[in-house]
Structure 1
Amino acid sequence: MFLVDEPYVSDFLKQTLHDYSLPVVDTPVARELALTPGTPMISEAQAAAMMAESDTPSVCTTSENAFAWIARQSGFSDLSRKVDCFKNKAAFRRLTQPLLPDFAFAEIRTDDLAAFPIETMPLPCIIKPTVGFFSLGVHKVASVAQWPDTVGKILSEIEHIHHLYPTEVVNLESFLLEECIEGEEFAVDAYFNEQGEPVILGIWQHRFSSDEDVGDRVYSTSKALMETHLQDFEAFVGEIGRLAGIRDFPLHIELRRTPDGALRSIEVNPLRFGGWCTTADGTYKAYGLNPYVAYHNQQRPNWDALLKDQDGKVYSLVVLDNLSGIRGKDIAAFDYEKLLDLFDKPLELRKVDFRQFPVFGFLFVETTDWYAHELETILHSSLREFIQRR
C-alpha cells in the first residue's frame, strides 16, 4: 500500500498510482492531494488491519509526514520499531555500530549544546538534528573555536524551521554530533524483497561546491556511475538490512565511499525513496525504470538492458534550496525562466511555494558532461541572481 502525504506528490507518481492500480490509503490528506480519478483506494481501517495481520506489511510513503499515521495505527508494532531505528539518527548509529565499531558520535539535548565539551570529539565533525530531513540544521564543525558560533546558528535556525515539518520528520529536541566521513557521497534508492534481499533502484552522486558545503544542491547519475558502484552498494545495503532484520521494505540511504574505497553509511530514510518525489522520478527520466512499480511488484531491474544506450549521458537533479540569506516572506518573485536559460537540456521544472518552504523548486536536467558548465554554475550559486525582493 502507498501512504501519500504533504508536502508534495508529483504528477508522475499520481499517474503511476492510477495506471498500475497501486493501492493508496484513503486518509484525509490523500483526499486533498488531487490524485488521479480512478486511483484505487483502501480505507484507513483496511490498511490498519493489513498492517496488524502481517509481520512485514508492504508500505511505501511519499513523505515522512506519514510516519505520524503509522505511529497512530500500529503503535508499538515491528514496523514502527524499524522506522524509528532508522529515522532516529542516534538509534541508527547504535544499530550499525558493529559495522563501524570505532566511529565517534554523541547524542546531545539541545539545551546542553553550549556546554558540550567539543574538544572530546574528533574534528572536523558534523552536527545535525537526531530526527531530521533535508539538510535542515546540519553544520560542519572544523575547530573548537568554531563551536560557540555553530551553536548560536543552530539555536537561531530552530526558530525558523521548527514549524516546517511534524516532529516525526524534524525533531529539534536533540542533536547528533558525529565524526566526518570523508569521500564521495551518494544517495541510493533501494528495497528489500520478501526474502530480505537488497535490490538497488537508483544511485545518485551528491555533489558539493566545497569541503564546507553540507547542502543538497546537485545530485547526478550516469551509466558509468551505475556500473561502477551497483554491485558494491547492493552488498553494503544488504549488511545494514541484516542488522535491522528487514524484509519487504523500501528505503533511501545516504552513504560515502572513502578515499581508500570503503563504504560508510551516513543515514537511512525508511519506507520512502528520495524526498519530494525526486530521485525515484529522476531514475525514470534517466533510465525508464519506475521504482514505485518495481518495489510494489517485487521486480529486480535488468540494469544491463536499462543502461545499454546511455553512454555519454549525465542526468542531474538540481535542488533549488534557498541559500540567498533572503527569507521567503521578503521575496516578491523568483525568475524561473532566467534559471532555465542556464541549461541546454532541462527535462522538468517543479516549482515550490518558497514562502512556505526554504526551497524554490526542483529541476531535472540532462548534460553530456559530468562537469558541465551549467551544473558547476548552479552548484556554486546562492540563487540571489534569480530573486526579486519585495
Structure 2
Amino acid sequence: MIILDKPFVSNFLENTLIEMQVPVLKNTAIQDMKLNSKINFMEESKFIEMLKKNPAQPLFSNSENSINWINKNLDFMDLSEKINIFKDKVIFREKMQSYFPNFYFKQIKLSDLESLNLEEVPFPFIIKPSIGFFSLGVYVVQTREEWPIIISSIRAEMANNKDVFPIEVVNSTNFIIEEMIEGDEYAVDVYFNEKGKPSILNILKHYFASPEDTSDRLYITSKEIITQNRETFLKTLQQIGEVTLIKNFPMHIEFRVDEKGKVGIIEANPMRFAGLCVTDLAYFAWGTNNYQMFFERNTPNWEQVTVGKEKKTYAMVVGDIPKEIKREDIASIDYEKFASKFTHPLEIRQMDYRKFPLFAIAFVEFDESTKDEMLRILNDDLIDCIILK
C-alpha cells in the first residue's frame, strides 16, 4: 500500500503503480497532481480498514507530507511513534547514543540562536532544523565570527520557504546543533523487512563544492561505491533496527565514513526513499525499481546488476536556485541550456520553480571521458539557466 503526496510524483513511479496495481490512498494530493486514473486508487475508509486487518503489510510514501495523515488516521498502529524517532533528529540522536556515546548534539530554538554560548560548542559544527528536508536551513559553522551572519541567513531562508513544506516536514521552530562528522558522505535507500532485516536498494555518494557547501547538487553511484560500502552500512543499519525495532519500514539514511572506515550517522528519513523521486536513479544505473523491490521484498543481485558498469558513474544533479534569488523574480528557465551541460543526460525532469527552491533534476551518465563535467556542474551557479524578470 502506498500514500502519494506532494511535492512530486515521477512518471516512473506512476507507471510502476499502474503496472503493480498497489492500493494507493485516494486523497486530495493525487487530484491536485492530476495522477493517472489507471492507478489503483482506494477510498480512505477502505484503505484504513485494509491496514487494520493487516497492520504488518508493506506501507510506503513518496513524501513526508503524508506524516500528518498517518498521525491522524493510523493511531491503531505504532507507525507514528516509529516515524517520529527518525523524523525528529534530536530523538534519533538520543536513541543511538549507546552506539555513539561521545557524539555532541544540542537542541535549540530558532529564537534562542543569538544567545547560544559558543564556548560550549565544538567547532566546526552543523546547525539544521530538528525536523527538516532538502538541506533547508542547514549550515556549517567554522568560526565564531561567522555565527551572526549564519543566523541571519537561517532566518531569511526559513522565511523564504515557510510555505513550501508542511510543519511535519520542515519545522523552523527547533534546531539541532551537532558536531561535524568527518569523512565522505553517502545516502542509502533501504527497507527493513517483516523480520527487521535491512535490505539496501542503492548507495549514493554526496559530493560538495567546498567544506561549507551543504547543498544537494550532486549525488553519484557506481559499482565501486556499492562494493566498498554495502557491508559496512548493513552493520550500522542492523544496529538501528535493534534499537528501534522497526519492521516493514522504508528509509532514506545518510552516513559519513572517515579515512579509518568509521561510520557516523547524519540523519534518517522515514517512510520514503530519496526525496522528490530521485530514488529513480537506481533504474538508470542498475535497471532496478526500488518501489517494486520494496513491495515484493526483493534485494538487488549486486553482482549481476553491476556487470559491465566498471567504468561508469551515474549521477543525480539538482538544478537548484541560488539562495540570493527569490523565486518570484524568475521569469523562466532555459532547460536546453541546463541539459547542454552534460554529454550523456538520461533524463531532465522539469520542476516547478514557482513552488520549490529548484527548477530541475537531471539523471546523467558519466564515463572516463566526461568526468570533468561533474566538477564543473558542482561549481556552477546555474545563473545562465535562470532568466529573471
The TM-score, its normalising length taken from structure 1, stands at 0.97
Aligned to 2:164: 164
In structure 1, the gaps of 5 or more residues are none
Counterpart-to-counterpart distance in 2, 1:153 and 1:27: 36
Counterpart-to-counterpart distance in 2, 1:253 and 1:184: 14
Counterpart-to-counterpart distance in 1, 2:66 and 2:130: 18
Aligned to 1:360: 359
Describe the SS at the equivalent of 1:305: helix
The code of the aligned residue for 1:146 comes to E
Q: CA deviation at 1:371?
A: 7.6
In structure 2, the gaps of 5 or more residues are none
The TM-score, its normalising length taken from structure 2, stands at 0.97
Identity of aligned residues (%): 38
Q: How does 1:1-390 map to 2 (within 5 A)?
A: 1-75=1-75, 77-278=77-278, 280-323=279-322, 325-369=324-368, 372-390=371-389
Q: CA deviation at 1:55?
A: 5.0
Describe the SS at the equivalent of 2:176: strand
The code of the aligned residue for 2:380 comes to S
Count of residue pairs brought into register by the alignment: 389
Q: CA deviation at 1:163?
A: 1.1
Q: CA deviation at 1:51?
A: 3.6
Contact 1:314 1:370 in 2 (8 A): no
Counterpart-to-counterpart distance in 2, 1:317 and 1:196: 29
Counterpart-to-counterpart distance in 1, 2:323 and 2:75: 41
Q: CA deviation at 1:60?
A: 0.5
Contact 2:343 2:370 in 1 (8 A): no
Which 4+ residue blocks in structure 1 deviate beyond 6 angstroms? Answer: none
Change (3 A) 1:139 1:17: same
Residues 321-344 of structure 1: per-residue CA shift (max 9 Å, x gap): 112622111121221111211211
Contact 2:136 2:158 in 1 (8 A): no
Counterpart-to-counterpart distance in 2, 1:6 and 1:232: 33
Counterpart-to-counterpart distance in 2, 1:287 and 1:370: 21
Q: CA deviation at 1:310?
A: 1.2
The code of the aligned residue for 1:310 comes to K
Residues 268-287 of structure 1: per-residue CA shift (max 9 Å, x gap): 00010000000x21101110
Tell which deviates more after alignment, 34-43 or 156-165: 34-43
Counterpart-to-counterpart distance in 1, 2:76 and 2:4: 22
Contact 1:65 1:165 in 2 (8 A): yes
Contact 2:2 2:60 in 1 (8 A): yes
Contact 2:128 2:176 in 1 (8 A): yes
Q: CA deviation at 1:58?
A: 2.0
The code of the aligned residue for 1:39 comes to I
Tell which deviates more after alignment, 42-51 or 18-27: 42-51
Q: CA deviation at 1:194?
A: 0.8
Describe the SS at the equivalent of 1:144: coil
Tell which deviates more after alignment, 263-272 or 227-236: 227-236
